[in-house]
Chain A
């Protein structure tokens, strides 16, 4: 069974194997297909039309399936690899070990945002940006430039406290857990992290940066934590909603899996510790 671990606790061997598997998917062309798929949904998901990957209730199950596909691809290269997650409420500095040269590499230089160290730096020669929205073919970041602060644990807790999964109109204007986690409304969790990283992570082709997977693995974990806190709260809507993926409706592009099939992550993987990143309960009162 796959166990997803906090990136901060990976051994150097685990980091090395994760990076090598990612680079192999890049080399054989499979990586870029994920970037293309993501951008197609980013462009196609609209508040007033069909919406599946983003700004809709299926944001969470869609990304869960998307990450599963990627993780399976990694495991086809190295069966020992699983997706790590990045708890950005805890590891919230550009000096975090996440950004060290033995893992993802650091921020971009000021002149052009180019990442200059680590395995994904253009200078290392193994990470061309092929699926792109502009002419630049190198990985870029500007950690902490687009927005100064990553979300705090208390901001995360305020969103986890929301008992209703999602609400009409089931888009970026919705109240409820999903849209607050996605970030179109309220304290802004998921969207803000994309902006904090900057570079390609701020664009529709955000999976060009490998941190995309670690960010979404943590968003996915927060969904699991939310389920634990609200065992009586279900995925919504339950049926008959135009343009929106209902509980038992299959999702594009796979067309064989509904949100209902993805609600229980333990069918696919477990986490190192589902509540480990939660501070003493007394703090939250």
Chain B
């Protein structure tokens, strides 16, 4: 998926540049999210915090490269964490796939707990 790689590369570059998601809020306002049940409601709020020594961020996602996170992207230290929204509104991530939590921020925190300091791989290696 070259497009995805390019987007990830740009994201990583932006984090390095120290201005990761300046456009996030504007993007969110511009793109209302259509959810699982065919209903339409807003994505969860963006967030940006340091949790247990690691920067976790979340924001409504834009762009054609984005897959099935329900239009929402989560990052741990600038690396995208694959998240998914369940039909009941709960969230899971690829590192905690069988234990739904209530918000994408909770999924990000659960991922940091699970990682125990390890770096996230953008996609499975190998």
Contact = CB atoms under 8 A, between A and B. Distances in A.
A195 B99 contact: yes
B82 interface: yes
Interface string B84-126: 1111100000111111100000000000001110111100111
A205 interface: yes
A172 interface: yes
Given A113-B116, A173-B87, A39 B96 contact: no
A202 B125 contact: no
Interface bin, chain A: 35 or more
A47 B124 contact: no
Contacts of B119: 134-135
Contact of B94 (A35, A42, A172): A42
Contacts, number: 97
B88 A36 contact: no
Interface string A109-135: 000110000000000000000111111
Interface string B13-46: 0000000000000000000000111100000000
A121 B5 CA distance: 33
A173 B72 CA distance: 20
Contact of B97 (A36, A48, A49, A204): A204
A94 to B, nearest CB: 19
A43 B94 contact: yes
DSSP majority for the A interface? Answer: loop
Contacts of A32: 126
Given A36-B124, A39-B124, A132-B124, A169 B98 contact: no
B6 interface: no
A178 interface: no
B35 A203 contact: no
B7 interface: no
Nearest to B35: A48
A202 B116 contact: no
B54 interface: no
B68 interface: yes
For B35, B97, B100, the residue with the greatest tally of chain A CB atoms inside 10 Å of its CB is B97
A202 to B, nearest CB: 6
Interface of A: 32, 35-36, 39, 42-44, 46-49, 55, 112-113, 130-136, 146-147, 169, 171-173, 183-184, 190-192, 194-195, 202-206
25 contacts: A36-B124, A39-B94, A42-B97, A43-B67, A46-B84, A55-B86, A112-B116, A113-B116, A131-B124, A131-B126, A132-B125, A132-B126, A133-B121, A135-B119, A136-B118, A146-B99, A172-B86, A184-B100, A190-B98, A191-B99, A192-B98, A202-B97, A203-B114, A204-B124, A206-B97
Interface of B: 35-38, 67-68, 82, 84-88, 94-100, 114-116, 118-121, 124-126
